[in-house]
Structure 1
Amino acid sequence: MFSGIIAALGRITALTPRNDGTPTVRLTVEAGRLSLEDVAVGDSIACGGVCLTVVDKKDNSFAVDVSPETLSCTIGLDAPGPVNLEKALRLADRLGGHLVSGHVDGVGEVLRFDPVGDNRLLEIRAPQALAKYIARKGSITVNGVSLT
């Protein structure tokens, strides 16, 4: 589980096809300001809001395997570039946002992103099949950011 509050902006630096006959790709991610001191292989890190399992770790980078299914229902994990990062919550952590599972249900279409004072108005068209699950004043996660 995650809070939907981004801890750091990382960067996908490489996508490498796996050599085991599966269509899975391995992403190498530079963690930016996200400390990896307490991260071990097998831990979960949300990358762009997607719960991914760390399969390798170096000084300030980690690797995760991403399936074709995950790539088909996300945006931004298929090429090098910036990515929002958040480590999985521990039971003792303060919950400063919402509970976010890190499982992607669909991809919306951004209709508007307009300035409103110091804020922004974001309007997204959700896939019709998911509309019945979206509460009017509930939260939804966009690229790992939990919004109301």
Structure 2
Amino acid sequence: MFTGIVTAIGTVVEAQSKGPSLKRLAIACPYEAAGIEIGASIACAGVCLTVTALREREDGEPGCTFQVEAAAETLSKTMVGAWAPGTRVNLERSLKMGDELGGHLVTGHVDGVGTILKIDQIAPDPDEPWGATARFHIRAPQGLPRFIAAKGSICLDGTSLTVNTVEDDVFTVLLIPHSFSVTTWGERKAGDPVHVEVDLMARYAARLAEARPGG
């Protein structure tokens, strides 16, 4: 379980496909190896992946390189299959009991891939690469719009965000300069894919409604 509060940015340094249903990745990150156990879960761009090996970074930077493997279900629902050396991803360690819940409860089970349609800068600041905030217009994956509500929570590329508006299958979110400085969102442009995980409560509420007599 995660919160959608990104704590580091990792860089893919190795990517090997083991046939069409398995991909092995090595990701360099600032996390200390001593704090990670084999079998631990790390959210990589919102995708919960299991650490299978650890080693020192080869670039001399502080931190470690951890290895993960993505199987068929993950590859079919996410962009992990397209990750290559140099790909930068948002990272979050799994939640511990007693940790501050700064975002919302996130499982790391991505529901699908959305598309950034447009990015609006708001109140531009010449000293910032982005404006004071930036509005992202995102098309939700098929079947997910019913789980997305204005003022509700959504996890995009591992980042907990508040939905501002919803119109048909398009919703908007706002990001502030701090978010751009600690995540990969500053690299995003119109047309880019984005991992989408809908709010856990919305998912179960919809399932309960469907299970009621008469739908």
Common fold: TM-score over 0.5: yes
Q: Which residue is equivalent to 1:14?
A: 14
The structure-2 alpha-carbon separation of the partners of 1:135 and 1:124, relative to structure 1 and needing over 3 Å to count, comes to same
Instruction: Please report how far the alpha carbon of residue 71 of structure 1 lies from its aligned counterpart in structure 2 after TM superposition.
Output: 2.1
Q: Which residue is equivalent to 1:101?
A: 107
* Max Rg structure: 2
State the TM-score, normalized to the length of structure 2. 0.63
Q: Distance in 1 between matches of 2:16 and 2:114?
A: 27
Question: Which one of the candidate residues 33, 39, 43 is aligned to 1:42?
Answer: 39
Instruction: Please report how far the alpha carbon of residue 36 of structure 1 lies from its aligned counterpart in structure 2 after TM superposition.
Output: 3.2
The structure-2 alpha-carbon separation of the partners of 1:128 and 1:24, relative to structure 1 and needing over 3 Å to count, comes to closer
* Stretch moving more, 44-53 or 65-74: 65-74
The structure-2 alpha-carbon separation of the partners of 1:65 and 1:76, relative to structure 1 and needing over 3 Å to count, comes to closer
Instruction: Please report how far the alpha carbon of residue 5 of structure 1 lies from its aligned counterpart in structure 2 after TM superposition.
Output: 1.0
Q: Distance in 2 between matches of 1:96 and 1:131?
A: 25
Question: Is 1:140 matched with 2:154?
Answer: yes
Question: Is 1:75 matched with 2:79?
Answer: yes
- 8 Å CA contact 1:7–1:34 kept in 2: the answer is no
Instruction: Please report how far the alpha carbon of residue 138 of structure 1 lies from its aligned counterpart in structure 2 after TM superposition.
Output: 0.8
- 8 Å CA contact 2:70–2:80 kept in 1: the answer is no
Q: Distance in 2 between matches of 1:40 and 1:87?
A: 11
Question: Is 1:110 matched with 2:95?
Answer: no
Q: In structure 2, give the amino acid aligned to 1:135.
A: A
Output aligned runs, 1:114-133, within 5 Å.
114-117=120-123, 118-133=132-147
Q: In structure 1, give the amino acid aligned to 2:16.
A: T
Question: Which one of the candidate residues 26, 29, 51 is aligned to 2:24?
Answer: 26
Q: Which residue is equivalent to 1:85?
A: 91
Q: Distance in 2 between matches of 1:77 and 1:2?
A: 22
- Residue ranges of structure 2 left out of the alignment (5+ in a row): 57-63, 124-131, 163-215
Query: C-alpha offsets along residues 19-59 of structure 1, whole Å, 9 cap, x if unaligned?
Result: xx77311100001x233321100110000110000011113
Q: Distance in 1 between matches of 2:120 and 2:80?
A: 22
Q: Distance in 2 between matches of 1:62 and 1:52?
A: 11
Query: C-alpha offsets along residues 113-145 of structure 1, whole Å, 9 cap, x if unaligned?
Result: 121120110111112311111122111111111
What SS class does the counterpart of residue 35 from structure 2 fall into? Answer: coil
Identity of aligned residues (%): 46
- 8 Å CA contact 1:28–1:61 kept in 2: the answer is yes
- RMSD of aligned alpha carbons: 1.6
More helix by share: 2
How many residue pairs were aligned? 145
Q: Distance in 2 between matches of 1:48 and 1:138?
A: 20
Q: Distance in 2 between matches of 1:11 and 1:114?
A: 27
- 8 Å CA contact 1:44–1:52 kept in 2: the answer is yes
- 8 Å CA contact 1:76–1:83 kept in 2: the answer is no
Q: Distance in 2 between matches of 1:95 and 1:135?
A: 21
